[in-house]
Chains A and B, each alone.
Chain A
Amino acid sequence: MTPLTIQHPSTMVEPGALTRWNPSIKLMSLFVLSVSLLFVWEPVRPAVLWAVLLIVALTVGKVPPKWLVMAHIPFIAFGFGLFLVNVLTRSEDGVWIGAALAGRTLAIGVASILFLTSTAPVELMRSLNQNLKLPASITFAVLAGYQLLLGLPREWQTIRAAQLMRTGGVERSRNGKPKLTFKEAGRLVFTVLIVTLRRSERIATSLESRGFGLKPRTVYRPIRLRVTDVTLGVAVSALSIAYCWPWM
């Protein structure tokens, strides 16, 4: 039994220039790009954008090629679904529109991969709180929840081992692999849920008794908003809009 872990994509990629870009501005730029793409109804521009973003991911983003391919799987599946539905339902322009939508999915997909691999969750939450004034009660709740999530695989394994001890060992399928029966899975999920619920309750009380919610708060390590952050954000947003402008 090797220990299971959850890792955020940002911990698996070497920090680069995109990591230093302010998370809130980065998120907003991603949003502008996604919305702009909604106005494109032909496949050429999304395809070109997808190719450009791939190059950015492999160079500036330092995303390992293998990783980039793996991360594409869900977007390709979804994009292919969109394409197929359009081809089957629209007799005249189904292929054209379907390809446009699939291309859009892929382009936004790579942009999201770039965002995830360059942004640590803690930095994002701090930035949303400090730069965009999202209430601390929300950002810290998300962070605390995220910490719980990181602990879940280990909790799952411990509880599985603990329960196996009592039920008298693993049932194995014909090829000798350990099998999780339906009943066992039910018990496992139940206990994991209860244990996690209890823990989150305690985290809430503990945060409160450490003065969480008092005003004014101070900030130990401010996330700075530099001129370059904003300039880059404005540039990327303007480019996105211009690129996707319907009558260009």
Chain B
Amino acid sequence: MTEPLIQLRGFTAVDQRSGRVLLEDINLTVYPGEQVLLLGASGAGKSSLLDAIRGVIPHSVPLDISGECLVAGTPVLYNTVAELSAVVGNVPQDPHASITLPLVEDEIALTLENHGVEPSQIGPRVNELLESVGAEHLLQQRTQTLSGGWVQRVATVAALAANPRVVLADEPTSMLDGAGVASVMQVLTELVGSSGALILVEHRLDELADGPGLPDRTVVIDQGKIRADGPTQQVLAEHAEQLEASGVWTPGLQLSQFKQRTVAEAEPLLSARGLSVRPAPTAQQILADVEWDIHAGERIAVMGANGTGKTTLLLALAGLIDVEGSVTGKQPVMVFQNPEHQFLTHSVYDELRFGLVPNDTTEASVQELSAAFGLDHLAKLNPFRLSGGEKRRLSVAAGLLAAKHGSAATVLLADEPTFGLDRAATTTMLKVLADYADTGGAVAIITHDQRITEAWATRRLIVAEGALV
């Protein structure tokens, strides 16, 4: 048998300060040619496991570790993260954070320069990499001007430019539309080929299953321990209940259908007429002549490819950018994509109550939402210290409370409120939003997730080339 590429034996990682066990007695062996899907709820230890393999634990994040972690036969401990990068490539979760240089070409060349690739080979290799994700037209583009989906593709090929044998991908398609998912997955699979190995963390399993296909092997991790490891179909079948219970996304899973409802013929809560947006007086319009009414009780999913102007549309409705045309109705509440941008106080407790009139009614609904979103035990923590999923739930809860306790019912606009949430949290989120729509309000969310739109939305809007379809 060939030598394993990744081998963890009894690997345990403990955060000494909090005493929290992040990984416990992990035994995992991955051979060349294997592709592994890593499943687990938020905070189960997926990212920690990837960090251990690429050496970030313990080199950059000092944790107490025991047991062994070998990559290509050498202990991770003996190599720096940079040295390991010759073997291990890491596709970043937040692609914006990996861009260092102003030009796309230089950004990808940087990885090759770091690895000492012959200068004459760098140019052709950069072209080849960009072509593989359909981005050859971006060669001379400035990285600052790219939309999320293109940044993700550029960051992906930049991360893997040096042909590492082990590829770790933590939600590599989070910002992509359908076509993007297929092309990035194709690149990942082609890169590892038969001599490399891929470990993939991904929530969008249906799009994977329908398109490029799921990896053959699946590992389930829960509370830092490996609970299952085997052929994907078998693991999914045998552990279906357990996966369901812990709130993990699994392929073929249907979100429970929300009741469709007929919207009463009444005054719309918010109505846009001839709405156009241009970034500068002379620039091309991002949105042109949008006509849109939002009625009480509506649950609207705003969809569309990357960079088509979905966020701009919400900002325009919320009155946060200059527009031509008119928006009439009650001031809506908007929840931004990055929850950190909206935090104003130093504790979860204060954050939920910010700007509300303190009385029994508001207190009751704060308590109710805090419990529904599982924020009760975090009340004293600083919002900036929460995990990604907790931050998102907190920011939506705060937005909802502001919307509920204004002078009259209003529209809640939310930019990707289910981003990065596991299935359990997504279900709760959708239910809470639907409850709000049922009690006289209305909700419009931006999402890339087809499942959510089908199960939850009463209306779907697609933004394409600056217009509603």
Contact = CB atoms under 8 A, between A and B. Distances in A.
Do A and B pair up? The answer is yes
Interface of A: 1-3, 122, 140, 143-144, 147, 150-151, 158-159, 161-169, 187, 191, 194-195, 199, 202-203, 205-222
A218 B344 contact: no
B334 A165 contact: yes
Contacts of A218: 112-113, 116-119, 122
Contact of B88 (A165, A187, A194, A209): A209
B355 interface: yes
B100 A143 contact: yes
B114 interface: yes
B324 to A, nearest CB: 14
A191 B339 CA distance: 11
A214 B83 contact: yes
Interface string B82-122: 11111011101010111111110010011111111111001
Nearest to A154: B144
B406 to A, nearest CB: 9
5 contacts: A140-B100, A147-B102, A147-B143, A168-B355, A208-B80
B322 interface: yes
A81 B103 CA distance: 42
B114 A214 contact: yes
A186 B89 CA distance: 40
Contacts, number: 158
Contact of A1 (B110, B114, B320): B320
A212 B402 CA distance: 46
B336 A162 contact: yes
Given A1-B321, A166-B354, A210-B111, A194 B315 contact: no
Contact of B119 (A167, A191, A206, A220): A220
- Most-contacted residue by chain B among A147, A203, A205 (CB, 10 A): A205
Most chain-B CB neighbours within 10 Å: which of A165, A169, A195? A165
Given A165-B333, A208-B82, A210-B158, A217 B113 contact: yes
B270 to A, nearest CB: 15
A147 B343 CA distance: 25
A114 B402 CA distance: 53
B73 interface: no
A1 B123 contact: no
B116 to A, nearest CB: 5
Given A163-B344, A211-B162, A206 B92 contact: yes
Contact of B280 (A2, A165, A194, A195): A2
Contacts of A191: 340-341, 343
Interface residues of B, number: 67
B116 A165 contact: no
A147 B114 CA distance: 19
B340 A195 contact: yes
A207 B100 CA distance: 8
Chain B CB within 10 A, most for which of A150, A211, A213, A214: A211
A192 B96 CA distance: 16
A166 B113 contact: no
Given A158-B336, A165-B320, A202-B97, 19 more contacts: A1-B321, A143-B101, A161-B315, A167-B344, A187-B344, A203-B97, A206-B97, A208-B80, A210-B98, A210-B111, A211-B86, A212-B110, A213-B114, A214-B82, A214-B116, A215-B116, A216-B116, A220-B119, A220-B122
B100 A220 contact: no
A147 B116 contact: no
A217 to B, nearest CB: 5
B46 interface: no
A210 B110 contact: yes
Contact of B342 (A165, A205, A206, A221): A165
B279 interface: yes
A194 B384 contact: yes
B56 interface: yes
B101 A122 contact: yes
Given A143-B101, A147-B102, A202-B94, A209 B320 contact: no
A158 to B, nearest CB: 6
A199 B97 contact: yes
Interface string B142-162: 011000000000000011011
B85 A209 contact: yes
B404 interface: no
B219 interface: no
B272 interface: no
A209 B342 contact: no
B320 A161 contact: yes
Nearest to B123: A220
Contacts of B343: 191
B421 interface: no
A217 B399 CA distance: 49
Contacts of B94: 202
Contact of A3 (B280, B334, B341): B280
Which of A162, A167, A199, A207 is packed against the most chain B CB atoms within 10 Å? A162
A168 B56 CA distance: 42
A216 B355 CA distance: 57
Nearest to A159: B341
